[in-house]
Amino acid sequence: MVNLRKILVVGATGATGKHVVQMLLDRGDTTVVALVRSKEKMMNLLDLDDDNNDEKNKSKNKKIDNLILEEAAIAELGTEKLQDLTKGCQAVISDDDDDNNKGGKGGGCRFIVMGSDGITHPDGVTDPKRPYMERFVLFLLRKLLPPHADNEMTAAYLYQQQQQEQQEPSSSPSPSLDWCYVRPGDLIDDKQEKEDDNGDDNSDKKEKVCVNDNEEGYEVFDRPGSLFGGDNTARYDVAAFMTTLATVDQEIWKERYNHKMPAIYQKNKKNNE
């Protein structure tokens, strides 16, 4: 019997989370634990190859067997229940703005969380200082939109944990926390909408943190661009990238992604012509 990897998806019925669950199930090598508010909604969102074709039905049954639905809001779960859900998981993927997501321990489990390119790297070095107007806009977002402030707190928490573990590696009873904080641009729902861009070349904004030879139409950089650069990211592509992060070989994960805050944008059409 093949031992499948186990991955917990938080916010599984969300606009991005639903794509993550579908992609992981389509792989056929992963047990997906989906934390949802409604099991019925989750099942309605998934394509389980439900038709009269015998081969399709076999595929459907396999996907259902590989799916575990946990109906609850993460804020309502206690520490013991969270530890139970994450036990044996290779990764936890979060598409949930709740600040409670910042909890967790190490032990070889990758914590992958989606924020936005408006979140500044807490190290004060990776991201260049933003112009005054952008800083003012971020100040307003911080005051007016609680999810933005929560995302900043999560990024700061992850970075602080990393720094503490590096300074006092022997003081922590648990293994270090592996994490990657994904920073997409302006999110668009339809993958096809990615073609609707203005062709602006924001070449001053970014240096690649890793090379992605993918056909998904996205590129990954070590720092975000301007808030007003018009850089979009399809939710489908964010899901594809986070799925890659959760399943990539450990050596690649450690070298390219662990303790990083990559920015992800759609590929510039002009660069592809």
For residue range 35-53, what is the model confidence (pLDDT) as tens digits? 999 999 999 999 886 455 5
Confidence (pLDDT) at 133: 86
The predicted pLDDT at position 73 comes to 84
Quick check: 161 pLDDT over 80? yes
The domain ranges of the chain are 5-46+63-189+216-266
pLDDT at position 203 is 41
pLDDT at 1: 47
Dump pLDDT digits (tens) for 85-131.
988 999 999 986 444 444 455 457 999 999 999 999 999 889 888 88
Residue 199 is predicted with a pLDDT of: 46
pLDDT score of 56: 56
Rounded Cα distance between 93 and 120, Å, is 20
Q: Would you tell me how many other CB atoms lie within 10 Å of the CB of residue 203?
A: 9
More confident residue, 83 or 220: 220
Q: Compute the average pLDDT of residues 63-85.
A: 88
pTM of the model: 0.80
Give the number of other CB atoms < 10 A from CB of residue 6.
Answer: 19
Q: What is the pLDDT of residue 28?
A: 92
What CATH architecture is 5-46+63-189+216-266? 3-Layer(aba) Sandwich (3.40)
What's the rounded mean pLDDT across residues 133-144?
83
E strands of the chain, at which residues?
5-10, 30-36, 67-71, 91-94, 110-114, 178-184, 186-188, 218-221, 232-234, 263-266
What 3-state DSSP class applies to 98? coil
